[in-house]
């Protein structure tokens, strides 16, 4: 199975400041035949199910604010919240769909400083 490792476990950022979450996969999730990274990001607010934010490592799901962006390739990925809002307090997960079984990172908790 591909192991997804996120860092940090938690971070506190001031409102309006940038938040950065990292995700590393134990093997590349870049598919050479189509040059796509099979990597998704989810947001889970307290008491709610996860919500898909980003797929193909950098494509925002419909309706997701453009302050959320994804980057990276191969084994190293980043989710950036460009200007943290109060409603962005949540746990963020990465997930690979390069191979089965799909696997998730352990999550990064983002809080307001």
- Return the number of the residue (69 or 103) whose C-beta is nearest other proteins: 103
100: number of CA atoms within 13 Å, CB side?
A: 0
- Choose, by CB under 8 A, the member of 63, 86, 101, 113 that binds other proteins: 101
- CA triplet 94, 73, 9: central angle to 5 degrees? 35
Burial class (CB in 10 A: 0-12, 13-18, 19+), 1: exposed
Site size for other proteins (CB under 8 A): 27
- Return the number of the residue (16 or 32) whose C-beta is nearest other proteins: 32
Q: What whole-number distance in Å separates Cα of residue 69 and Cα of residue 37?
A: 14
- Choose, by CB under 8 A, the member of 19, 38, 68, 79 that binds other proteins: 38
- Return the number of the residue (9 or 76) whose C-beta is nearest other proteins: 9
- Choose, by CB under 8 A, the member of 16, 35, 46, 48 that binds other proteins: 48
Determine what percent of the chain falls in helix, strand and coil, rounding each to the nearest 5: 5, 50, 45
The number of beta carbons lying within 10 Å of the beta carbon of residue 42 is 22
List the x/- string, 64-93, binding to other proteins by CB under 8 A: -----------------------------x
Q: Does 33 bind other proteins (CB under 8 A)?
A: yes
């Amino acid at each position: 199975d591909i192991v997804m490792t996120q860092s940090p476990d938690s971070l506190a950022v001031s409102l309006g400041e940038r938040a950065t979450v990292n995700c590393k996969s134990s093997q590349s999730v870049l598919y050479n035949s189509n040059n796509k990274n099979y990597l998704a990001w989810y947001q889970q607010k307290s008491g709610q199910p996860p919500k898909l934010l980003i797929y193909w490592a950098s494509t925002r799901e419909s309706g997701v604010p453009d302050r959320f962006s994804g980057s990276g390739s191969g084994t190293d990925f980043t989710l950036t919240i460009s200007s943290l809002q109060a409603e962005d307090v949540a746990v963020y997960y990465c997930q690979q769909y390069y191979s089965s079984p799909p696997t998730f990172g352990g999550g990064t908790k983002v809080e307001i400083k």
